[in-house]
Amino acid sequence: MAAALERGRAAIARAGGLGWRRGLFVAAGWSLSALAFLLLGVAMAWIIWVVVARGAGALSPALFLTITQGTGGGLLNAIEGTLVLAVGGLLLAVPFGMAAGIYVSEYPFTRWAAVIELLADVLVGVPSIVIGYFGYITMVEWLGWGFSVAAGAIALAMIALPYVCRTTEVAMRQVPTELREAAYALGAGEASVIFKICLPAALPASLTGILLALAVAVGETAPLLYTAGWSNYLWNGRLIGSPIGYLTYAIWTFINEPFASANALAYAAAFLVTAFILVINICSRFVFDRRR
């Protein structure tokens, strides 16, 4: 690179400098790219600032200890519901998603693997409201579950599936081929190579991916509104037949209420959701970078 730069500088010098048109083009190009970056940086910082400044002010012990009452009260029901729905969704998504990821990474070049890979990418792109509406007409209406934990968790599982599949696949591919070859050479069968050798090695990265899927599930709103419904009360432990609250609903509904107490609930919910998601994203990036 140094030699090339040297020759380039000489060429520019022979031409008598860049000249004003080229100079202007280069200067404008750099400034516009810097401006574009700055714009995004400012937007990101602004969003975080608003959520943190307004949300932190709305936090109080009562928020975590009481349930929602009308347009005030606390968020205990929503916090509990978000955890129940997200954990439930992941419990469903993890076995199937990991199986899909393992299959794609261990049997590449098969037709089924290609199909799963492509459809996982497509499923990520399906609008979450479409999955929510699908959940409504099938589970809530047709199966008659009503607004329920089961319907909400299954909708979330469908959204988390491709994330789990994809991160498992990436994690499994990071396991060196030599390890598999060594295991086969020692006489291990296919099942033990996958589950006793590769999967443990891939588990930390794979768990990170599952955490990212959890972050996605916690941040979803549209697929839950017509599957999980909303409830002011704590979860009664039933999987079908009774609705459940969650934080993103509180953000959506309470920000449009004319009452300060309702708005405070929305800010607090936004703070909790955003903080949770950012922490997971930052931690997972840290883990992935260290492995690289």
Among 90, 116, 150, 198, binds another protein (CB under 8 A): 116
| The residue type at 222 | A
According to CB under 8 A, which residues from 78 to 107 bind another protein?
A: 95-97, 99-100, 102-104, 106-107
Which residue is listed with tokens 């520019």?
12
Q: Which residues of 203-221 are buried (b: 16+ CB within 10 A; e: fewer)?
A: eebbbbbbbbbbbbbbebb
# chain residues binding another protein, by CB under 8 A: 100
For residue 60, the minimal CB distance to another protein (Å) is: 19
Residue number, 130 or 186, with CB nearest to another protein: 130
| The residue type at 162 | P
For residue 267, the minimal CB distance to another protein (Å) is: 8
For residue 70, the minimal CB distance to another protein (Å) is: 19
What angle, rounded to 10 degrees, do the helices at 76-106 and 111-125 form? Answer: 150
For residue 151, the minimal CB distance to another protein (Å) is: 14
Q: Does 256 bind another protein (CB under 8 A)?
A: yes
Alpha carbon distance 139, 147 (integer Å): 9
- What's the token pair of residue 244? 């459940």
According to CB under 8 A, which residues from 117 to 176 bind another protein?
A: 118-134, 136-138, 158, 161-163, 165-167, 170
For residue 237, the minimal CB distance to another protein (Å) is: 26
According to CB under 8 A, which residues from 216 to 255 bind another protein?
A: 218-222, 225-226, 248, 251-252, 255
Q: Does 258 bind another protein (CB under 8 A)?
A: no
Q: Does 191 bind another protein (CB under 8 A)?
A: yes
Give the interface segment with another protein, choosing from 59-67, 78-86, 177-185, 186-194 (CB under 8 A).
186-194
Give the interface segment with another protein, choosing from 68-76, 116-124, 227-235, 236-244 (CB under 8 A).
116-124
Give the interface segment with another protein, choosing from 65-73, 175-183, 237-245, 272-280 (CB under 8 A).
272-280
Q: Does 11 bind another protein (CB under 8 A)?
A: yes
Q: Does 1 bind another protein (CB under 8 A)?
A: yes
Q: Does 283 bind another protein (CB under 8 A)?
A: no
Give the interface segment with another protein, choosing from 76-84, 144-152, 185-193, 236-244 (CB under 8 A).
185-193
Secondary structure of the chain as H, E, C letters: CHHHHHHHHHHHHHCCCCHHHHHHHHHHHHHHHHHHHHHHHHHHHHHHHHHHHHHHHHCCHHHHHCCEECCEECCHHHHHHHHHHHHHHHHHHHHHHHHHHHHHHHCCCCHHHHHHHHHHHHHHHCCHHHHHHHHHHHHHHHCCCCCCHHHHHHHHHHHHHHHHHHHHHHHHHCCCHHHHHHHHHCCCCHHHHHHHHHHHHHHHHHHHHHHHHHHHHHHCCHHHHCCCCCCCCCCCCCCCCCCCCCHHHHHHHHCCCCCHHHHHHHHHHHHHHHHHHHHHHHHHHHHHHHHC
Among 153, 214, 215, 228, binds another protein (CB under 8 A): 215
Residue number, 177 or 256, with CB nearest to another protein: 256
| The residue type at 147 | F
According to CB under 8 A, which residues from 14 to 73 bind another protein?
A: 15, 18, 22, 25-26, 29-30, 32-37, 39-41, 43-44, 46-47, 50-51, 54
